[in-house]
Chain A
Amino acid sequence: MSKEKTAEKRNSGVPLLTAAMIWLAVFFTLYLNYNLSLPFLAVIVIAILTLEKKGVIESAYTACIKGRKIFLLAMLVGAILLPLALSARPYALHIGVLVCIYAILALGLNFQMGSADMVNFAPAAFFGIGAYTTGILTMNLGISPWFGVIIAAVVTCILGGLVGAPTLRTKGYYLSLVTMALQLIFSLVIVNIKAVGGPNGMAGLPGFAIGSFSLHQAHDFFGIRLPYQANYLYLALLLLAVLLFVAYRVNLSSKGLALNNIGQDEVVARCLGININKEKLFAFCIGGAFCGIAGAFYGHYMSFVGPDDYDFSKSLMIICMVILGGMDNPLGVTVGAFLLIGANEKLRDFADYQMLIYGLILMTALWLRPQGLIPKRVRNYELLFHKKVVLGPNKEKKEAVLPASEE
């Protein structure tokens, strides 16, 4: 009894520590000024690389899955505290919201690019379509922003399928070209449609509200005055948590496995009973929906949709997040979004050099570590399901019937 308790205590130590480290890293990156936070981000990158090399991340990962209840609880506490801790810095809160939005975008792209090796150069177009969809609906028809998000998700999901369909026959460069063209067409078209404001975009999208609680206003919380960005950070964290969960479950499921197989050897996948067209469409649909949700959320948060936020450079940025963070690892791409948005926003002050510095960071990272900072993990079924496979009775039965192996 007491032995079990100490074992439990030992098991809860690592998850607690991991959660604390994660939130401290997030807090300081957002809180510090750029001249401090950039070096801090560099330290985080080096720390991740070192810990990963030493297998510490792997052990922490295992421990967090084993003690998942305590880990999730600790993450929840951190998520509640973060906006409170940053309440004096609206801009830091804003970056936090952006990190969540881009993490969702990277998760969406990861279904295609990470899992199935289909490089889609148009995630920002889906991001934009989500934002414009809800913008048009809420401003012209007056529907609630919540419905706007749902409809945006449905629209981008369907569009994902429509874009995916003609690209089913193409792979590699062709797929990239088709999606690149789509991205450019989207930007061109949107600038030229007067009804959605052309190059000026649409301003005045309504903010979210829960009953009479408007997320667009500052509120008091435990005696702390929280700027409106804090409300959005709570909502963004919740949304990210839900979508991260969905992405994880899909990644670990037979669907994720089928996508991996398609990415690595399409012929083998076809000959193993996998309907590759269906699975590819699935990746485009769900990825599109993720991007659409992020876009709708972003539009209402900014109260504005304009063409510049959804152009080709944004697509490249999302692609970089997936590559840098770790292909086919939902956790990895979230970290990728965090690092790149963190660095990118801090570099705003050097607007002229921003892309240059950001490109250099990426090139160095890729040169040193092409598989990404947190590469994908082997699916450990017994760990994930909390259950051991026992090869018992059948084994004996088989050996009785069969000639013994000579090895």
Chain B
Amino acid sequence: MALLETKGLSVAFGGLWAVNGVDFQMEAGDVVGLIGPNGSGKTTFLNLISGLYRPTKGAILLNGEDISALKPYEIFRKGIGRTYQSSRLCWDLSVIDNVLLGVNNKHEMGFWSNVFRAKKSDAEIFRHLEKALELLDYFNPKLVDKKYELAQNITHIDRRRVELSRILVSEPKVILIDELTAGLNQEETLHIMDDIKKIKSWLPDIGMIIIEHDMNVMQSIPNKIVVFNAGEKIAEGSYSDIIQDEQVISAYLGGAAI
């Protein structure tokens, strides 16, 4: 059974089919690169999977279970976490609070146990705190020292790492990563790609969908690439298959080299 599967997934805005009849499958441990021209529906595809948009047609299955009618918070709790095209941290919160948001729903405490702060919940908060700091340490040890700094005061690449930590701390099954390298320079791109590789080796069973324009990234990281154009999936396969695909070449710059 596939880890994540979409069947004929479609969504229309007005008359525009932003995602149109996409059949997609990935197994545990897959890293799927999602490419396509601007406006081809990549972000919309992630928005559908994370529940922000309701599909007009089609279904989304996680481990065989239909999740297409669930709300975003329920989907996250099922184990699908995501990042955004531009960093979306809570700028007025500290680095560590931003990461802890990823396990916020796992504090199974109501109002009263918060007020009287039961021993058990204290221990749980600390367990999560340790896990969060371990993740930060793992991406960049300097972030551990900045744990109480406001998110607005850290560098762009560190913000990306905080975003990654925020979803990883929840122990997701699938992570959706939208243009992680947007706004990073070349050197930083290399660093953040190392971070992605680290995630892959650390959590070999996690499924990842990575939207990325940088073809070097696409060549080295994913084991499978899916190409979107005008809301439709036009090709799927390994990097070497994809770059020779006629449709893909014509979709990009009307045929110029990728």
Chain A residues in contact with chain B, CB under 8 A? 245-246, 249-250, 253-255, 257-258, 260-261, 264-265, 267-276, 282, 286, 376, 378-381, 385, 387, 389, 391, 394-395, 398, 401-403, 405-407
Contacting pair A272 B101 (CB below 8 A): yes
Contacting pair B90 A261 (CB below 8 A): yes
Shortest distance between the CB of A240 and any CB in chain B (Å):
16
Shortest distance between the CB of A243 and any CB in chain B (Å):
11
- Among all A-B residue pairs, the 8 with the closest Cβ atoms: A273-B105, A253-B114, A273-B76, A270-B72, A254-B107, A264-B90, A378-B94, A249-B115
Q: A385-B125, A401-B202, A402-B202 are in contact. Are A272 and B104 (CB under 8 A)?
A: yes
Q: A264-B91, A395-B134 are in contact. Are A257 and B125 (CB under 8 A)?
A: no
Contacting pair B77 A273 (CB below 8 A): yes
Contacts of A272 in B (CB 8 A): 73, 76, 81, 101-102, 104-105, 166-167, 170
Contacting pair A379 B201 (CB below 8 A): no
Set A245, A261, A276, A378: member contacting B150, Cβ < 8 A: A378
Contacts of B71 in A (CB 8 A): 270, 275
Contacting pair A381 B96 (CB below 8 A): yes
Contacting pair B73 A274 (CB below 8 A): yes
Q: A261-B101, A264-B91, A385-B122 are in contact. Are A250 and B137 (CB under 8 A)?
A: no
**Distance, CA A402 to CA B90, complexed state (A):** 30
B interface secondary structure, majority? helix
**Distance, CA A261 to CA B97, complexed state (A):** 10
Q: A273-B77, A385-B122, A406-B191 are in contact. Are A268 and B114 (CB under 8 A)?
A: no
Contacting pair A273 B73 (CB below 8 A): yes
A interface secondary structure, majority? helix
Contacting pair B88 A268 (CB below 8 A): yes
Contacting pair A405 B130 (CB below 8 A): no
B126 within 8 A of A: yes
Q: A255-B111, A272-B105 are in contact. Are A265 and B88 (CB under 8 A)?
A: yes
Q: A249-B117, A257-B97, A391-B134 are in contact. Are A271 and B72 (CB under 8 A)?
A: yes
**Can you list 15 A-B contacts (CB < 8 A)?**
A254-B125, A261-B101, A271-B73, A271-B81, A272-B167, A273-B77, A274-B73, A274-B101, A282-B111, A381-B125, A385-B122, A385-B125, A389-B130, A402-B138, A402-B201
Q: A254-B114, A378-B150, A405-B140 are in contact. Are A271 and B129 (CB under 8 A)?
A: no
